[in-house]
Every structure is written in structure tokens, then in C-alpha cells.
């Protein structure tokens, strides 16, 4: 039993999942043990509770339960998963595109699938912060080690433009712009249905009562709901396709979204509240093809004042190949037609916009 670790009568203060328990208590004897590696090991029969094999990571432990873990096998499984994550991350790192860089800021286009910074639910996965550190760039430290340089973020499966602060001065200035809403962000999404009318949605967003992974629209203050404002407009296919190409049946609808606030999942929540869903966004109600493996939301335009010079700067991250493939045009044609100026013009003041609150 030299390769086994026995935890005897660990007292839990409340009902606790087996994988959570092991992730917490194995840290001291298995540095680097990941939640995903532990879950895989449980499913493989490498963990027993009260001398009985348990195959469900979500198994609830009771007070005084004895958990037996085959340490060497879990170490091997963690090593395998770590190597696999490393290979995936290296591919994602190669897809990161540098749009602009100077002594204060770095502007990039983040690929879909890349996590911005470490989180408790994503331990062991490489992140954008890891890429930045590996590049030996100077980074702002105001956000701490795990968020070095990060002043805003994109969801894991959202691609597009991001700004990174390379100095604490830049970090403070950029954070101030984002908080004061003087920085402008516009996204492109592929949706299941077109908008009935271009609209502005002003609906507070808070924690979802039924799903801890989601946010939802609530009255201001309920479930921590905070004021949120977004604008949405249709971009019709004949404006981005070659004139000789007729739109294909079931071609996805292109919608541009402008953020006036920056709540978590804001675009996804507001679209869901008007019964529109981004392709691939199963969390917020998309029920289409299972072949769609990402959320088709892309940070397209970012406008801000340079933190040191005060000069207004505008950055654009061209749409990726998978967007063009779903729309039915080649990537070059799509990005030539869907220009930054064209998208910006969609949000010029217009009294015909529908206001929803």
C-alpha cells in the first residue's frame, strides 16, 4: 500500500462533493492535482469511500467517511491531462494575434477557447496571462499575479479584441475608462433569429436563482442585479455577401452589439431576454445544431483613450474563419464587407430604435 493515501474520518461541516473534497485535501500530498484529473480518476475507479468504489465525482460525502485514493494512479492521470492541456494551449497561443503594442498597452485578438485568467473552476488550464508571462513582457501588477495586465476580459469561448496593461499607470487609467464607460466595445454575434427591430435594452442583471453558472434579468437590486445597457442592430446578409450570391436558407443572422456597461454575460443575457440566442450558447437557450462547438460572439471593435497620451484609439479584430464558414462566404470577403466604419455607422443616433426596459 505504498502507493496509496488513506484519509480517515475527515469531518465535513456540510454535504460535500467527492471531487471537491479531494481537490481540497489532496493538494498537500499531490501538488498540482487538478479537478479534472481527480474527476477522471474517480470515474476510472481509483477512489473508494468506506471500502466501496465510487464512480461519480458528484458523490456526496458524509461525516466520518473514509476515502481511499490510489495516489500514483491519480498522479499519472493528472500528468496525462496536464500534457493534453499543454498541447491544446500551445495551439491556442499560436492563434493569438498582436494588433498593437507600445510601452503602456498591448492590444490582441483572443481566440475562442482560451481562458483569460485563472479561476477556481479552471485550475490546471493555461491562460492568456500564462501566454503574456511566457512572452517576457512587462505587465501591470495591480490585479495581482493571476490577473497580471488584465483590465477586462472576454468569456472563454468569446473571441476578439482585448487590451492588456503593461504598466500600473496604464492599468489604473484603463480601468477608470471602463468604469466610467468612456471606452467603447462593439461585438459581432451570429444568432438564431434576426431582431424584429434594432433596439436598446436597459435591464438589470443579477445572479440566476436556478443556475449558478448563469446571470439573468431581474428588477434592480434583486439577486444583486445591477444596471446594464446594450444596443443591438441587424446586419443584413446582402450587405456582406457578394451581390451575385443569394443568401442560403437557414443562414445565421448577423447582429452587432454595443455595450454601455460591462456586466458578466451581458450580451448573452440581454439577447436571451428578447428571445434571441447566439449560436452555440446552450447555457442561454440555444437549441440548434450540436455540431456548433463554440459561442459565436466576437469582440470586434474596442475604442479607448491611450492611457498616457490621451489620444483616442480604435482597434478592430477581424472575424475568424469559423464565422465566415457558417455565414457561407470566405473570410477575406466577409472582413472586406464588414468593415469597422460600416459597423460603427450602424450605431449612429436613430429615433427609430426600440427601447426595452
Catalytic site residue from 155, 192, 281, 322: 155
CA distance 13 to 109: 45
What would the mean pLDDT of 4-26 be, rounded to a whole number? 60
For residue 238, name the pLDDT band (cuts at 50, 70, 90): low
What would the mean pLDDT of 294-300 be, rounded to a whole number? 93
Q: Does the pLDDT at position 2 exceed 80?
A: no
pLDDT of residue 30: 47
Q: Does the pLDDT at position 75 exceed 60?
A: no
For residue 240, name the pLDDT band (cuts at 50, 70, 90): low
Higher pLDDT, 54 or 218: 218
Residue 155 annotated as catalytic: yes
Q: Does the pLDDT at position 247 exceed 50?
A: no
Query: Checking DSSP bridges between strand 4-7 and strand 47-49, what pairing results, if any?
Result: unpaired
The answer to whether residues 303 and 187 touch, using CB atoms and an 8 Å cutoff, is: no
Of 220-224, 248-252, 267-271, which gets the smallest average pLDDT? 248-252
In 3D space, the residue among 212, 89, 95, 70 whose CA is nearest the CA of residue 160 turns out to be 95
Averaged pLDDT of the chain:
81
Dump pLDDT digits (tens) for 160-217: 999 999 999 999 999 999 888 889 999 999 998 889 889 999 999 999 998 888 899 9
Within 10 angstroms of residue 75's Cβ, the number of other Cβ atoms is 19
pLDDT of residue 87: 54
In 3D space, the residue among 56, 15, 52 whose CA is nearest the CA of residue 38 turns out to be 56
Dump pLDDT digits (tens) for 62-74: 877 887 776 544 5
Q: Does the pLDDT at position 346 exceed 80?
A: yes
What would the mean pLDDT of 274-298 be, rounded to a whole number? 85
In 3D space, the residue among 96, 193, 170 whose CA is nearest the CA of residue 135 turns out to be 96
Within 10 angstroms of residue 241's Cβ, the number of other Cβ atoms is 19
For residue 10, name the pLDDT band (cuts at 50, 70, 90): low
What would the mean pLDDT of 332-350 be, rounded to a whole number? 86
Q: Does the pLDDT at position 52 exceed 70?
A: yes
CA distance 329 to 287: 24
Q: pTM surpassing 0.85?
A: no
Higher pLDDT, 134 or 105: 105
pLDDT of residue 246: 43
Amino acid at each position: 500500500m505504498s502507493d496509496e493515501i488513506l484519509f480517515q474520518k475527515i469531518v465535513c461541516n456540510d454535504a460535500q462533493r467527492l471531487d471537491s473534497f479531494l481537490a481540497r485535501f489532496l493538494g498537500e500530498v499531490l501538488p498540482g492535482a487538478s479537478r479534472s484529473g481527480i474527476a477522471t480518476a474517480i470515474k476510472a475507479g481509483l477512489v473508494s469511500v468506506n471500502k466501496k468504489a465510487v464512480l461519480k465525482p458528484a458523490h456526496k460525502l458524509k461525516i466520518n467517511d473514509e476515502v481511499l485514493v490510489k495516489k500514483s494512479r491519480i498522479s499519472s492521470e493528472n500528468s496525462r491531462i496536464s500534457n493534453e492541456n499543454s498541447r491544446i494551449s500551445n495551439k491556442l497561443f499560436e492563434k493569438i494575434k498582436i494588433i498593437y503594442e507600445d510601452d503602456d498597452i498591448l492590444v490582441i485578438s483572443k481566440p475562442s477557447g482560451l481562458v483569460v485568467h485563472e479561476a477556481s473552476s479552471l485550475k490546471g488550464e493555461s491562460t492568456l496571462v500564462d501566454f503574456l508571462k511566457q512572452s517576457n513582457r512587462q505587465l501591470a501588477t495591480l490585479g495581482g499575479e493571476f490577473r497580471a495586465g488584465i483590465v477586462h476580459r472576454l468569456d472563454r469561448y468569446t473571441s476578439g479584441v482585448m487590451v492588456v496593461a503593461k504598466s500600473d499607470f496604464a492599468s489604473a487609467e484603463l480601468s477608470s475608462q471602463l468604469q466610467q464607460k468612456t471606452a467603447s466595445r462593439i461585438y459581432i454575434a451570429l444568432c438564431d433569429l434576426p431582431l424584429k427591430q434594432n433596439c436598446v435594452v436597459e435591464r438589470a442583471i443579477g445572479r440566476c436563482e436556478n443556475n449558478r453558472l448563469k446571470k439573468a434579468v431581474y428588477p434592480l437590486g434583486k439577486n444583486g442585479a445591477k444596471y446594464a445597457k446594450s444596443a443591438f442592430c441587424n446586419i443584413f446578409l446582402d450587405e456582406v455577401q457578394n451581390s451575385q450570391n443569394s443568401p442560403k436558407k437557414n443562414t445565421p443572422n448577423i447582429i452587432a452589439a454595443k455595450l454601455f456597461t460591462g456586466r458578466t454575460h451581458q450580451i448573452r443575457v440581454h439577447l436571451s431576454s428578447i428571445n434571441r440566442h447566439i449560436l452555440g450558447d446552450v447555457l442561454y437557450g440555444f437549441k440548434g445544431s450540436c455540431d456548433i462547438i463554440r459561442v459565436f460572439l466576437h469582440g470586434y471593435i474596442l475604442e479607448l483613450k491611450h492611457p498616457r497620451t490621451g489620444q483616442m484609439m480604435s482597434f478592430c479584430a477581424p472575424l475568424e474563419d469559423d464565422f465566415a464558414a457558417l455565414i457561407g462566404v470566405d473570410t477575406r470577403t466577409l472582413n472586406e464587407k464588414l468593415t469597422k466604419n460600416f459597423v460603427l455607422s450602424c450605431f449612429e443616433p436613430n429615433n427609430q430604435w426600440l427601447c426595452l426596459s
